[in-house]
Structure 1
């Protein structure tokens, strides 16, 4: 006798195939997809009532009074607040003044750097090297300046380079550098003027340099010695007769009894006159 199979539970029974599973290419319309509600979690638990601007101001003032409870008592003093505001204004004014001073100094340094732009850069480089050699020479600076003057290297460009360094030292308030560069500038300028002066002015400069501020008699002796070196003593005949006058020819003509015209000079005496004189004798 055949017994019937036990019945399966409801959740294990096969359900009929869905027509959508049999057709994979069929697109499920979006309208059938459930759309969860995302705004449900942001809903307030209780309704919000509008707050007026007066209430907000009162709340902010109350909060501010609570934060300022630990401040010192002078913080609430009006005079102290006024003094602090004045100090702040003074500090801002001082800062603006310092910024203006820094800008002025920067412009001055820029102007100093632009002075040599008009000159050829190669000559500027040589002038700077020469000035640096003067500064490093120390006690031998006089000899270095004289050698440079003999070579013809002292020009206005060298003076301009020294002046720029002197100007920068004045801006930086370097007193030792100012004193040294000022003396160097004056010495180089004097040497340039000396090379451009006339011989008489050079001699006068040499004679004045011989005076040491002491005994004038010794200085006069040195001046006489220097004058004799520059202007040697002349022969007495050269004072009366011009340079190149031959006294032997004059004596020869005077002994021979021949007249000498005033228009004739020693340089114009020809061999023919001497030949004629020999024929007479």
Structure 2
């Protein structure tokens, strides 16, 4: 029973990804899911509520990924690389990915045999390149995101002194957000101080 549920969930996940690749996921799909979720809430269908809520979040995530800027897609990819245990190894991989992303596009400007890892001056990307990731854009967008999140966190922290189950759950959720914020801050610091 459990393995068939897992297999069904994986199939749904694959279908969502295929639909996202084809551009079939949009706000109309979200609205349909939301309306069905609203009906399930009124009828108190707990399993349907849980499933539809997860589906809504997954579809919303795919839409947001598609609409995200290159800097935000890179940030998402870097955060998804974290295995939850090895921070040092994760930061090394992130640094490697940043070097490849921010600096490797410029390697087409140099002669064969030139070692770009030993370059000690900044290189400029070709202006016509669509997928060029500039470190300054990444830093600017991640910093703006953090400013917004810090403001929201400050607002959310007021009035969380009680120990009822809802407050405890809220504090645990806040702790998880704080961990994610620290990871983003680490990535911002890495991008700011990236050496090549």
Structure 1-normalised TM-score? 0.34
Bigger CA radius of gyration: 1
- TM-score between the two structures when normalised by the length of structure 2: 0.48
